[in-house]
Structure 1
Amino acid sequence: MRAMRITGRVLVVLTMLACAALAQPAFYLKSGDRVVFYGDSITDQRLYTTFVETFVRTRYPQLDVSFVHSGWGGDRVTGGGGGPIGLRLRRDVAVYKPTVVTIMLGMNDGRYRPFDQTVFDWYKTGFESMVQDLKSLAPAARITLIRPSPYDEVTRPAMAGGGYNPVLVKFGDLLQEMAAKQSMQVADLNGPVVKMLERAQATNADLAARIIPDRVHPGAAGHLIMAAALLDSWGAPGVVSEVEIDAKGAKVVVGKNTAISGLSASNGVSWSQTDQALPMPVDLNDAATALAVKSADFLEKFDRETLKVSGLKPGHYALRIDGLQVGVFTAEQLGEGLNLAAWPTPMMKQANEVHALTMKRTGIHNTRWRTIEVPLEADHLAGAKAAMDALDALDTELDAKQRAAAIPVARKYELVPVTADEARIPAGFTPIFNGKDTTGWHISTTNHHGTTPDWHVENGVLVGMQNPVGKGGILLTDKKYKNFEVYLELNPDWGCDGGLFLRSNERGEAYQVMIDYRDGGTLGGVYGERLKDVTSLSIKDWEKYYKRGEWNVIKARIEGEIPRISVWMNGTLVTQWSDVANHSVDGALDGMIAVQVHGGTQIWKEGGKQKFRNIAVRELP
């Protein structure tokens, strides 16, 4: 009897799992689908539509789906600036032989005034007629009707007379009924965005108002949530990959949507991982996007790239993927689990490259359509066809490159034990000083301050000294960097002049962040070290931000062909400086990072030390 009860329980569990699997809707798009996004200026922004395209490319890299973006500003159900509705449907939709068409119209149709039954009836008649024409022109197309995105009456007062967004909601209700009667798909791009705005407004009212800056046209933050709503209506999966590792038992507990090999659990944990998808690229450095993502629970619903590691000894661990330090976490945090989609991983970098190609490809198509095809149609120019053919070929080439870029690759994961001091290095920064020796660095033999050999490590601290007295010099990274941020902690002896060199050559000719820690000195400013015509910037009130006799944090960023430099001191932005031209020697766009011991005896305390630790870099596009 007991054996039968166990079997019964197993059957119950299997039945529940089967039901759960059946409850998960299959993704709406299929291989071979051609999707046309149709709409007004909000679709013409090519933001929610390109987010959808990139999501499909990165979540389903093997799925053969193509996309066309056919929004036109000012459009209504009768057409607009791109021509009457019949022409728009023939030229901008049916010609692509779509198997899927999305339609979002309504923002202009409501005339930006409170509800008017006559206007509503006109919209209803026009939309029904448009759908029938579309079905006739593209009989193979599966149609998704989109409830119009909102007119923002959350972060700003509602329009007098009852508001305008309620008009759009009524339009959406009409589309819901129409879709139900005609077996069409429907997506709500109004309700979820309004709900997100309400939560964002409660968190940060000023920032929330930037999500739809003109009340009509969302920025990227709003479009991301709109894309999520459309994808949700299509049954898009939320999981990128799901991994759980038992470090103590050296075994993989869960490996969903991924393949794991080479697991080792000696002195930390390491393994190789090849996912079947990439995360959706989300710019969490943009404050409005970060607020929208948090307010809509976007990562939890649509971008779950989870890593959970149990059985680790207490302490801090650096997570490195392909050598890039993603962040430092406690054993407890790793045991609870991380969503890597929220962190600057190599996978996110790859996904961003895919999205950049999405934007380039759609830009090429838009140029073909809006700059050549439509405005030159009546001129019957032979060159116009040749130009469109050339742009079509370029579109095809970019499409192939985009698809190839979306294929996940094998990644090397490492969880490396680190000290509490090393744990302070920010997420996304990779250490370039190992705390043990000067591996990865070298002394300049041609610097005009000298060639002091006295660069050594004391208790995890990089120390530079004059040797002999008056002879300074620089210690350079072996690697060159172009656009980057460098993070370091410093605690120099008072009376010692030094610097942090950016894009340096071997001789130490570089843009310098000043570390003149002495009477009359300054920290955090910018100086051209043996660069001609560079206008220096000194920070007069640097002592407001610097803690004497303690460890301090300097973070510096350099980017651009004409260099722009920003400097933070203990978390406060103290410098924003731009050159007027690239004054690097020979116009160099990259160079080494270096730390300096100043030569001479007037601005150096005899026996003094420059001291650095936790030096790390984050490369930028």
Structure 2
Amino acid sequence: MRAIFSCVALLAAAAAAVGGDDFALKDGDTVAFLGDSITAARAYGKFVENYTLLRYPDRKVRFFNVGRGGDTAAGGLARLKEDVFDRGATVLTVAYGINDIGWGTKADDEHRNLYLNSLREICRQCKEKNVRVFICSAAATASDPDKSENDYLKKMCDEGMQIGRDHGAGAIDVQGEMRKIQRRIKEANEREKPEKDKEHTLHARDGIHLNDLGQVAFAYALLKGLGAPADVSSATLDATTLESVASGCAITETTRGADSIEFIRLDEGLPLNGETFFSLHFRFVPIPDNLNRYLLMVTSLEPARYSVTADDRLVGTFSAAELADGVNIASATADPWQPGGPWSAQANILHSLTESRDKLDMARMLSVAHLNGRDLPTELAGEAIKANARIEEMQRLVARPRSYRFVIRKSPDSGAKPAGG
């Protein structure tokens, strides 16, 4: 049994280590999100921000959004200096396409060439300024994912991403990843046959702009394109010998009681969670398997059901067989109205702080847009800089991993069902 345990644990550790250093956002980076109204909705960037803060708490990375409704690649190029370079960006994501061809009404060589030439110049200027740029394909529209592989927008965006590669920039196929998610949605709609206005979708009624699920899908695609690894950390424990193997975390103070096992787990980074019901997006967006593998494996337990608590928060109840196979407890909760483990509660709090920082930046932008030439924008800008720095400190405080005391205890309720992971 000990040999099997060692083999499984080592495999889990090796898997968790893969790709850990490949994430594109590094310590000291300042990331700008440039794009049209989908970017200006200021949603997907906040998921990228929260992911980075939670997963890489030792990296000081800053974020700002310079999306503009109705914008095109040419428009982004025109404001590149003021909105990107002058604000100290070291990393830039660029997401255009749909407005460039007038939502399809201007799908012609003239507008395609303007789009491609603008991306080419954005890449050239970013290289000159030592800004690492990632050219993204446009978000998927609501068109049938199985009938849009050769449409004008996709071909144009493919050319745009190739320009990025040719200039040594990154290329992220957001549309391609979103189409995969759309296929899952299409299958669910065909299987469940809901009323038309209740069908699952990534989009608002116009078929272009994204709803909440669409923004999460966009963020997922962007994170995968930035090299975000699937594995957060894994903790593996043998209930008989109390031997443990950990990857991305440390396990200490392991003890065994009459019907329980306890240990301390300290992670290097934490999984991505959000506000209440954030995990509902997981039905279609494969965040748990591809971004959020926060694993607990306990072998050699007697056949029974076991409650898992962390710092006295009930994470869920699992069978001995499930724990032996390993459970993903990233978003597990015994009560969908409440965060499960303390890491989930921390992410929930972080979500509020990130929203606050975004609202602060919006106030600054609105003052410039509507009260330009008066004293207030200048006065507010100075105060906003100080307030933003303070909120960023609070974000990092909340996102920092803490030592969690885990207790795996035999449950008297053998009929309890495991929480979702």
Q: TM-score range by the shorter chain?
A: 0.7 to 0.9
Alignment CA distance shift 1:390-1:284 (3 Å) = closer
Higher relative contact order (CA 8 A, sep 6+): 2
In the alignment, is the contact (CA less than 8 A) between 1:200 and 1:291 conserved in 2?
no
Distance 1:54 1:23 in 2: 19
- C-alpha deviation, 1:372, in angstroms: 1.4
2:312 corresponds to 1:323: yes
- C-alpha deviation, 1:275, in angstroms: 0.9
Amino acid paired to 2:387: L
Alignment CA distance shift 1:364-1:23 (3 Å) = closer
Distance 1:28 1:245 in 2: 32
Q: Out of 170, 192, 217, which is 2:177 matched to?
A: 192
Q: Out of 394, 400, 405, which is 1:401 matched to?
A: 394
In the alignment, is the contact (CA less than 8 A) between 2:292 and 2:330 conserved in 1?
yes
2:352 corresponds to 1:356: yes
Which runs of structure 2 are paired with 1:27-66 in the superposition (5 Å)?
Answer: 27-66=23-62
2:235 corresponds to 1:243: yes
Segments of 5+ residues of structure 1 without an aligned counterpart are 1-16, 429-621
Task: Give 3-state SS (helix, strand or coil) of 1:50's partner.
Answer: helix
Q: Out of 68, 73, 77, which is 2:69 matched to?
A: 73
Task: Give 3-state SS (helix, strand or coil) of 2:219's partner.
Answer: helix
Amino acid paired to 1:152: A
Which runs of structure 2 are paired with 1:419-458 in the superposition (5 Å)?
Answer: 419-420=412-413, 423-424=415-416, 427=419
In the alignment, is the contact (CA less than 8 A) between 1:325 and 1:427 conserved in 2?
no
In the alignment, is the contact (CA less than 8 A) between 1:150 and 1:165 conserved in 2?
no
Task: Give 3-state SS (helix, strand or coil) of 2:181's partner.
Answer: helix
In the alignment, is the contact (CA less than 8 A) between 1:151 and 1:164 conserved in 2?
no
Task: Give 3-state SS (helix, strand or coil) of 1:128's partner.
Answer: helix
2:309 corresponds to 1:309: no
The residue aligned with 1:146 is: 136
2:93 corresponds to 1:108: no
Segments of 5+ residues of structure 2 without an aligned counterpart are 1-12, 333-339
Distance 1:22 1:260 in 2: 20
Identity %: 27
Structure number with larger C-alpha Rg = 1
Distance 2:278 2:390 in 1: 31
- C-alpha deviation, 1:327, in angstroms: 1.4
Distance 2:305 2:122 in 1: 61
Task: Report the structure, 1 or 2, having the larger strand content.
Answer: 1
Alignment CA distance shift 1:288-1:339 (3 Å) = closer
- C-alpha deviation, 1:404, in angstroms: 0.9
Task: Report the structure, 1 or 2, having the larger helix content.
Answer: 2
Amino acid paired to 2:313: L
Which runs of structure 2 are paired with 1:109-508 in the superposition (5 Å)?
Answer: 109-113=100-104, 115-135=107-127, 139-154=129-144, 166-204=151-189, 206=194, 209-214=200-205, 215-252=207-244, 254-266=245-257, 267-282=259-274, 285=277, 289-293=281-285, 297-343=286-332, 344-369=340-365, 371-377=366-372, 379=373, 381-420=374-413, 423-424=415-416, 427=419
Alignment CA distance shift 1:201-1:336 (3 Å) = same
Distance 1:399 1:354 in 2: 10
Alignment CA distance shift 1:287-1:302 (3 Å) = closer
Between Structure 1 and Structure 2, how many residues are aligned? 393
Amino acid paired to 1:383: L
Distance 1:313 1:173 in 2: 54
Distance 1:51 1:117 in 2: 35
Distance 2:19 2:30 in 1: 26
In the alignment, is the contact (CA less than 8 A) between 2:296 and 2:327 conserved in 1?
yes
Alignment CA distance shift 1:258-1:389 (3 Å) = same
Amino acid paired to 1:30: K
- C-alpha deviation, 1:42, in angstroms: 0.5
Deviations 1:240-267 (A, max 9, x none): 1101110011221x21111111111222
Deviations 1:585-607 (A, max 9, x none): xxxxxxxxxxxxxxxxxxxxxxx
In the alignment, is the contact (CA less than 8 A) between 1:225 and 1:298 conserved in 2?
no
Deviations 1:425-462 (A, max 9, x none): 8859xxxxxxxxxxxxxxxxxxxxxxxxxxxxxxxxxx
Deviations 1:119-138 (A, max 9, x none): 212322333334445555xx
Deviations 1:374-413 (A, max 9, x none): 3333x2x233211111122111111111011110111111
Amino acid paired to 1:312: L
Deviations 1:75-128 (A, max 9, x none): 01232xxxx842x22321111121111111111112122642332123223333
Q: Output the TM-score relative to the length of structure 2.
A: 0.86
In the alignment, is the contact (CA less than 8 A) between 2:264 and 2:403 conserved in 1?
yes
Alignment CA distance shift 1:384-1:298 (3 Å) = closer
